[in-house]
């Protein structure tokens, strides 16, 4: 036989109570926001009806409206935290995790920001709707199991245990029937609680989750932001390459041409000097080549082009003055599409450079794997930790560049280390 008094059922009743309280708080908020003007008008009408002069009544109404206007931002700013809490609790208690549906918004805005959110973000208006509905419906229905359990235990069964509690009065209220009715009420409440929680979760995810268009709007916002950043980054990169070529190889070739010309002029009268100039030109050409090589390495590393990501990172590890343990499944991460390979490579290369520069680590671990359509790279080190994307522009930069591929960067780096940074990029094999 199933036991009605399972601890999770008892817990569910308590959770129903908490959610009902939250729902009623939300309802209160809605009433403050929507009811202010109605109340002010009602009061002024009532006052003028009861012998006040119209001007006096209007004055009271105006004062009421002013007070309401002052309360409004405070009430509005409570909406989002309350909705966020409802989402979190729904995920934890109702097995219905809900993603935050809000649009990203510009920083600042101050006091009127919550009002602006109501104006600009449909999700904020849906929050308000949720509070009205949940306050009327959830606030009442969720209390049913609580009332049933309390009534069953205290009023019915309690009255047979404690003489202070008067027995419920109904026809034929014998001790036996009271005990049976009490047990039935309690059991009904305990059985109903989890079921109601689930129903509440379903309602919450319908109203609090991202609506179809909200999801699209979020996506559009994300795409246009990352596109702008990608275009900017691309343009900056091209400018850097242009400058490098201009100041490097191009300048060296000009110098070489001049040196060769001078050597040509000198070759008859001073072969020795001409020879020295020719050697100088040769050295310059070697330097130009070296600079071009570095430039190419920065644009697209040769091993990456030759063999793909795992081997390129292996080559990177060999070039780093740090003991790096590399694990990867070359089969699994066989050739990915070139842009993803390149983005992942440069992310890792920058992370490794960070480790050598800042972490004071003696060794590092790099793991490359693919989980379904997700490329997952972990870079860990035994250094001093304390890496913070909010502080260093380097990590932010990596994050921004990954965002163009819907990639994300996760950093755990407590002071004292160790640091573990995970890069995840959605990928499809090319």
Partner 1 sequence: MRAVIAEDLFLLRDGLTRMLQAHGMTVTAAVENGDDLLSAVNEERPDVAIVDVRLPPTFSDEGLRAALQARKDHPGLPILVLSQYVEQLYARELLAGGAGGIGYLLKDRVFDSAQFIDAVRRVAGGGTAMDPEVISRLLARNTGDGSLSALSPREREVLALMAEGRSNAAIAQRMVITERAVAKHTASIFAKLDLQPSNDDNRRVLAVLAYLGA
Q: Where do contacts with partner 1 occur on this chain (CB under 8 A)?
A: 282, 285-286, 289-290, 293, 296-297, 302-303, 305-307, 311, 314-315, 318-322
Shortest reach from residue 300's CB to partner 1, in Å: 11
Nearer to partner 1, 66 or 296 (CB): 296
Distance, CA of 148 to CA of 142 (rounded, Å): 11
- Helices (H) then strands (E): counts for the chain: 15, 5
Distance, CA of 425 to CA of 430 (rounded, Å): 14
Shortest reach from residue 321's CB to partner 1, in Å: 5
Shortest reach from residue 283's CB to partner 1, in Å: 9
DSSP secondary structure string for all residues of 79-128: HHHHHHHHHHHHHHHSS------PPP--S--GGGHHHHHHHH-HHHHHHH
Shortest reach from residue 276's CB to partner 1, in Å: 15
Shortest reach from residue 319's CB to partner 1, in Å: 6
Helical H segments across 300-337, by residue range: 302-307, 309-318
Express the helix, strand and coil content of the chain in percent, nearest 5 each: 70, 10, 20
CB-CB contact of 344 with 312 (8 Å): no
What lies within 8 Å, CB to CB, of 150 at 6+ separation is: none
Nearer to partner 1, 267 or 315 (CB): 315
Shortest reach from residue 387's CB to partner 1, in Å: 21
Nearer to partner 1, 178 or 361 (CB): 361
CB-CB contact of 130 with 204 (8 Å): yes
Q: How far apart are the first and last CA of the chain?
A: 57
Distance, CA of 388 to CA of 412 (rounded, Å): 9
Nearer to partner 1, 266 or 322 (CB): 322
Nearer to partner 1, 213 or 360 (CB): 360
Phi and psi (nearest 5°) for 376? Answer: -125, 120
Shortest reach from residue 312's CB to partner 1, in Å: 9
Nearer to partner 1, 57 or 288 (CB): 288
DSSP secondary structure string for all residues of 159-208: HHH-TTSPPP--TT--HHHHHHHHHHHHHHHHHHHHHHHHHHHHHHHHHH
Nearer to partner 1, 113 or 307 (CB): 307
Phi and psi (nearest 5°) for 225? Answer: -65, -50
Nearer to partner 1, 115 or 315 (CB): 315
In the chain, what is the greatest distance between 2 CA atoms, to the nearest angstrom?
135
Distance, CA of 427 to CA of 334 (rounded, Å): 12
Nearer to partner 1, 297 or 400 (CB): 297
Shortest reach from residue 285's CB to partner 1, in Å: 7
Beta pairing, strands 374-381 & 408-412: unpaired
Shortest reach from residue 241's CB to partner 1, in Å: 17
Indicate the DSSP class of residue 359.
I
């Amino acid at each position: 036989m199933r036991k009605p008094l399972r601890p999770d059922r008892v817990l569910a009743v308590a959770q129903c109570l908490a959610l009902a309280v939250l729902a009623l708080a939300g309802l209160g908020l809605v009433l403050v926001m929507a009811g202010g003007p109605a109340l002010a008008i009602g009061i002024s009408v009532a006052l003028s009806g009861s012998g006040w002069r119209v001007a006096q009544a209007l004055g009271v109404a105006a004062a009421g409206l002013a007070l309401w206007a002052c309360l409004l931002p405070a009430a509005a700013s409570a909406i989002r935290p309350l909705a966020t809490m409802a989402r979190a609790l729904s995920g934890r208690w109702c097995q219905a995790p809900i993603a935050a549906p809000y649009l990203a918004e510009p920083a600042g805005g101050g006091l009127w920001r919550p009002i602006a959110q109501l104006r600009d973000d449909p999700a904020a208006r849906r929050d308000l709707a949720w509070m009205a509905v949940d306050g009327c419906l959830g606030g009442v229905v969720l209390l049913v199991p609580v009332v049933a359990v309390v009534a069953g235990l205290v009023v019915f069964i309690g009255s047979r245990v404690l003489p202070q509690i008067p027995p419920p009065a109904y026809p034929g209220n014998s001790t036996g029937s009271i005990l049976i009715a009490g047990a039935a009420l309690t059991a009904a409440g305990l059985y109903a609680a989890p079921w109601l929680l689930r129903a509440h979760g379903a309602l919450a995810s319908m109203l609090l989750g991202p609506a179809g268009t909200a999801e699209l709007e979020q996506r559009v916002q994300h795409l246009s932001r990352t596109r702008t950043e990608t275009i900017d980054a691309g343009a900056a990169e091209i400018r850097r390459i242009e400058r490098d070529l201009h100041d490097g190889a191009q300048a060296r070739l000009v110098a070489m041409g001049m040196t060769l010309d001078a050597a040509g002029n000198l070759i008859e009268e001073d072969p020795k000097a001409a020879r020295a100039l020719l050697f100088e030109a040769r050295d310059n050409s070697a330097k130009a080549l070296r600079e071009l090589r570095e430039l190419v390495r920065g644009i697209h590393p040769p091993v990456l082009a030759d063999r793909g990501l795992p081997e390129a990172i292996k080559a990177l590890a060999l070039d780093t003055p740090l003991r790096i343990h590399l694990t990867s499944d070359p089969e699994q991460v066989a050739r990915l599409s070139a842009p993803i390979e390149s983005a992942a490579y440069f992310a890792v290369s920058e992370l490794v450079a960070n480790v050598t520069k800042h972490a004071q680590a003696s060794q590092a671990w790099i793991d490359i794997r693919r989980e379904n359509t997700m490329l997952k790279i972990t870079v860990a080190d035994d250094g001093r930790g304390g890496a913070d994307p909010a502080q260093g522009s380097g990590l932010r930069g990596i994050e921004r560049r990954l965002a163009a591929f819907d990639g994300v960067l996760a950093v755990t780096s407590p002071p004292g280390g160790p640091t573990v940074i995970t890069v995840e990029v959605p990928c499809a094999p090319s």
